[in-house]
Amino acid sequence: MTQTPEDLRYTEEHEWIRRIAPTRVRVGITDYAQSQLGDVVFVQLPEADAEVAAADSIAEVESTKSVSDIYAPLNAKVVAVNEKLAAEPEALNADPYGEGWLFELEVSDEESLDATLGELLDAAGYQGVIGG
């Protein structure tokens, strides 16, 4: 049984979004996604300070089975990336909701983030996507 924490929002592309400040979110891939990928061997992250648009491919996760694009869940600026993944890509498999986070995004105002997060899937909605 894959984990789907209730306090996160999700995309149909198997990313999770955790609000960590009024205008800032942390993004990673779900437990389901990492289990489908298999052993992660390489992670390509976006550049810090990059402006990204919702649905743009901004990162890649490479496993022993395939390469998967990671999409921006919202229009924002990349304000942090998980540098640890360069040396330890397996953290994505071991702790997808903790040490295996990918990047942090920041938006200009709290209201637009509220609206965007409201449009994303909740845990039950994501379970529906993955057939849970």
CATH at residue 83 = 2.40.50.100
H or E segment at 78? strand 76-81
Q: What is the pLDDT of residues 49-103, one digit of tens each?
A: 999 999 999 999 999 999 999 999 999 999 999 999 999 999 999 999 999 999 9
Is position 85 within any domain? yes
Q: Considering the domain boundaries, does residue 121 fall inside one?
A: no
Residue 38 confidence (pLDDT): 95
Domain holding 23, by residue range, is 10-109
What is the layout of strands, in order, in the sheet containing 76-81? Answer: 9-10, 15-21, 24-29, 103-106, 76-81, 51-52
In a domain, 132, yes or no: no
Query: Does 82 fall in a domain?
Result: yes
Specify the pTM.
0.96
Total domains in the chain come to 1
Alpha-carbon span 47 to 49, nearest angstrom = 6
Residues 26/18, Cβ–Cβ less than 8 Å? yes
CA distances for 71 relative to 3, 17, 20, 111, angstroms = 21, 12, 19, 22
